[in-house]
Structure formats: C-alpha cells, structure tokens
Structure 1
C-alpha cells in the first residue's frame, strides 16, 4: 500500500491500484468564517488535518484509508456577516456532496465517512447521505468534530472550566488550532466574549435567537449582531495547545474506531 494519504497526491495509476472496493475515503469539510478575532477563519484546515490524522492512525492498524480534498466553504448561515468569509448556499453544497458521492460510487468506492467541522454543513450532509442510502444503499456516517468535542471537554478540563472555555471562538476549535497551527493564531487578541448584545430591544441569546418573556425565540439575525469579536459565550484565553492535543487524540481514536468497526467492514444496506 502506498504511503500517500491524500487522494490529491496519488498519480492516476496509483489511484487505479489503491482506490478499490476495500478503500475507505474520508471526506473532510468545514468553513471559512469568523472564528474569533484571534483565530484563522479557515476552520476547514482543522477538519482536513483531523481527517489526515485519522487516516494515518487507521493505516497503522492495517486499514486502507485515504482522505479526499477538503470542502473549504461552509453552508450559509448567520456567519455570512464575517468580513472576508465565503459561504455557499444549501443547494450548492448539496450539489457538491451529491456529485462527490456519484463520482466515487461510479468507481466502486463506497466506504465513505464525512469528517465535518461546521454546523452549517449538517443540513446538506443529512439530505445527501439519506438520499444515497435510499437510492444506492450507501450508509455514510458523519462525525461532526466540534459537537463530539463539547462532550469530551468536561472529561479533559473538568465541568467548571469546560463550561467557561466552550463556545464559538473558544474551545474546542481554538485549542485544536493551538495544537495544529499555533503560528496562525493571535493570543494577544484573545479576550472573553462580549455580553449585553440586543436586537430590537431584546437580549440576544444565541447566534439566531433572542430572549423574550424567558423564552428563546428564533429570529433572523447575523453573527455580528450577537458578538463583535466572533467569540460567544466563552473565554478563549482558557484554550491551550495541551487541550487541543488531548482533544485531537480522543477524536482520532473515536474516528479510527468507527472506521475499523463499521466503515471498513462495509455499512451498505
């Protein structure tokens, strides 16, 4: 088996030889948006590197795993207000995923797993994976890295610290960034999330909600209306490379287990 992990690095002859029915392909995807004024906008970099780490660890167990090129642009949501950010419509993201599945399926590459780093991608992933299960028997799991991480942080940091560090612009992504690419972050710009944002006289309670009469009401607001720094509900100063390393190790272990126990043996109906 070739030492190359990324499909983009394979020659066409290597692709013919390596990407057979036993090959597992990881599809990383993320976004290009405000991750806090201290962090690089491209959270897709973390998803791509995480997929690479999963593939390497799976290879060490004798599994034939490759990573596809990352989808760097996330599905549109309230972060479209990010200056310099690039997002794509739900329909476009669905079409991209649909075409990727079709290309791989055409060549008999059916053992797939999505490594996702953006909440705005979830609706498109749900639509496409369900459609392909219904029409072709593919069963493609998706590992939403940061949702899984929120469940792991209390074990790593303790419940009290995790509650303070967890949130947009904080953990898990800031710690993972400090682990993977510390030179791209600006610790000098880290500060706790601003509070007190209001829209139409109502307290902002989330990136798409306000509080009225004690209830959270969904409203059409944008991220910049909730926080001018991109940080919400947390303190990124509590993030660390050590936490990022611990999270990465746990996420990779979960991903490799899923690949080994379910994806590689075949999840097709």
Structure 2
C-alpha cells in the first residue's frame, strides 16, 4: 500500500494505481468562524487532522484509505458573521460536495465518507448524499466529528466535567486544538463563557433558541448578541491536550471501525 495518505500528495501515476474501486476516500470539511477568542478560527484544520487519523487507523486494518483536500468554509450559521469569518451559502457547499462526488465516482471511486467539523454543513451534506443515493444508489455516510465527540467525551472525562466543558468554544474543539496545534491557541485568553442573557426580552436557551412559556422557540440569533468571548455555555479552561489526545484516538477508532465494517465493504445499493 502506498504510504501517502493525502490525495494532494499523490502523483498522477500513483493516483491511477492507488485510487481503484477498493480505495476509500474521506472528504473533510469544517468552517472559518469565531471559535472563541482563544482558539484559531479555522476548525476545518481539526476536521482535516481527525480525518488523517481515521485514515491511518483504517490502514491498520489493511484498507487503502485516503484524505481529500479539506473544504475550509462552512455554511452560514450563528457564528458565521464574526470578524474575519468567511462562510458560504447552503447552495454553494451542496454544489461543492456534489462535484466532489461526481469527480470521484467518474473514476470508479465509490467508497466515500464525509468527515464534517461544522454543524451548519449538515443539511447540505444530507441533501447531496440523499440525492446521490436516490439517483444512482451511492451511499455516503457522514461523521460529524463534534457531534460524535459530544457523545464520547462524558465517558472519557466524566459526566460532570463534560457538562461544564462541552460547548461552542470549549470542548471538544479546544482540547483537540491543544492536542493538534497548541502553538495556535492563546491560553492567556481562555475564560468561562459569558452569560446566555436575553434576546428580544426572552431568555436564550441555546445558541439558536429562545425560551418562552416553558418551551424552546427557534430564532435567528446572532452569536454576538449572547457571547462576548465567542464561547457559549461552557468553560474552555477545563479543556486540555490530554483530553484532546484521548478524544482523537477514540474518534479515529470509531471512524476506522465504520470504514472497516461498512464503507470498505461497499454500501452501493
């Protein structure tokens, strides 16, 4: 098996030899937005590096797994309008994903999995994946790494600590960042998230909902209205590199297992 993992590192001859019908290709993507005043804006970097770790683990099972170039821009969401952020429309991301599927399948590469690091991307990924399944039978699963991490972290650090550290600008992103690229984080700026506050005289319950008469109401909330630090409903000071390392190892194990048990076997209808 060729040692190179990233598609961008392959020569055209290596691509012809390695990217056959048995190869698995991972499509990483994320966003460039406010992740907290202490963290680099590009969470796509973490998604890309997690994808590489998943590919390495899958190769441990003897499966030729490669990582496509990361899509760095995510679909607009509550945090997308922060200073310096670059976001794209749902339609633009859907077109990009659609074109990537088309390019890979044109060459007989049909074992594909998305590694997503941004919640705003989920609807576009789902729309394209469903259309490809309905039209040609291609079945492409998507692993939203932060959603997976929310489920994994309580078992790694305990439910009480996880309840305090999990949230935008906190875990899992800050711990993963401290593991992968600690030199890019500003530890001197890490502090607990500010109060949730109110919008239009209603209490903020989540970053996208307001509480009214005992229920959550979805509303077009902008992150700047509810946080002064970019973090929301969490304490990033509880994050650490050790947690990030353990979390990445678990995510790689889950992703590689999915590849081994399902993707590599072929999910084409």
| TM-score class, shorter | over 0.9
The 5 A counterparts of 1:75-114 are: 75-114=75-114
Question: Where does residue 3 of structure 1 map in the other structure?
Answer: 3
Question: Where does residue 141 of structure 1 map in the other structure?
Answer: 141
The 5 A counterparts of 1:170-181 are: 170-181=170-181
Q: Verify the 8 A CA contact 1:208 1:218 in the aligned structure 2.
A: yes
State the alpha-carbon separation in 1 of the partners of residues 197 and 230 from structure 2: 13
CA shift, 1:82, in A, is 1.2
CA RMSD between the two structures:
0.9
State the alpha-carbon separation in 1 of the partners of residues 251 and 80 from structure 2: 28
Q: Verify the 8 A CA contact 2:196 2:227 in the aligned structure 1.
A: no
Structure 1 residue 158 corresponds to structure 2 residue 158: yes
CA shift, 1:137, in A, is 0.9
Question: Where does residue 26 of structure 2 map in the other structure?
Answer: 26
Provide Cα deviations, 1:12-44, integer angstroms capped at 9, x if missing partner. 111111101011000001000111000000000
Provide Cα deviations, 1:107-164, integer angstroms capped at 9, x if missing partner. 1000000011000000001000000011111111101101111111111111111100
Q: Verify the 8 A CA contact 2:196 2:233 in the aligned structure 1.
A: no
Secondary structure of the residue aligned to 2:83 is coil
State the alpha-carbon separation in 2 of the partners of residues 56 and 108 from structure 1: 22
CA shift, 1:196, in A, is 4.5
Q: How many residues are matched?
A: 269
Question: Where does residue 64 of structure 1 map in the other structure?
Answer: 64
State the alpha-carbon separation in 1 of the partners of residues 100 and 43 from structure 2: 21
Question: Where does residue 201 of structure 2 map in the other structure?
Answer: 201
State the alpha-carbon separation in 2 of the partners of residues 80 and 35 from structure 1: 10
Please list every run of 5 or more consecutive structure 2 residues that lacks an aligned counterpart in the other structure: none
Question: Where does residue 221 of structure 1 map in the other structure?
Answer: 221
Structure 1 residue 264 corresponds to structure 2 residue 264: yes
Provide Cα deviations, 1:18-73, integer angstroms capped at 9, x if missing partner. 10101100000100011100000000000000111111121122110000000000
CA shift, 1:214, in A, is 2.2
Give TM-score, length-normalised by structure 2. 0.98
State the alpha-carbon separation in 2 of the partners of residues 55 and 221 from structure 1: 37
Secondary structure of the residue aligned to 1:28 is strand
CA shift, 1:220, in A, is 1.3
CA shift, 1:208, in A, is 1.6
The runs of at least 4 aligned residues of structure 1 exceeding 6 Å deviation read none
State the alpha-carbon separation in 1 of the partners of residues 77 and 186 from structure 2: 25
Q: Verify the 8 A CA contact 2:193 2:234 in the aligned structure 1.
A: yes
CA shift, 1:2, in A, is 1.4
Q: Verify the 8 A CA contact 1:206 1:226 in the aligned structure 2.
A: no
State the alpha-carbon separation in 1 of the partners of residues 80 and 30 from structure 2: 14
CA shift, 1:250, in A, is 0.5
Task: Choose 51-60 or 255-264, whichever is displaced more.
Answer: 51-60
Q: Verify the 8 A CA contact 1:43 1:117 in the aligned structure 2.
A: yes
The 5 A counterparts of 1:172-191 are: 172-191=172-191
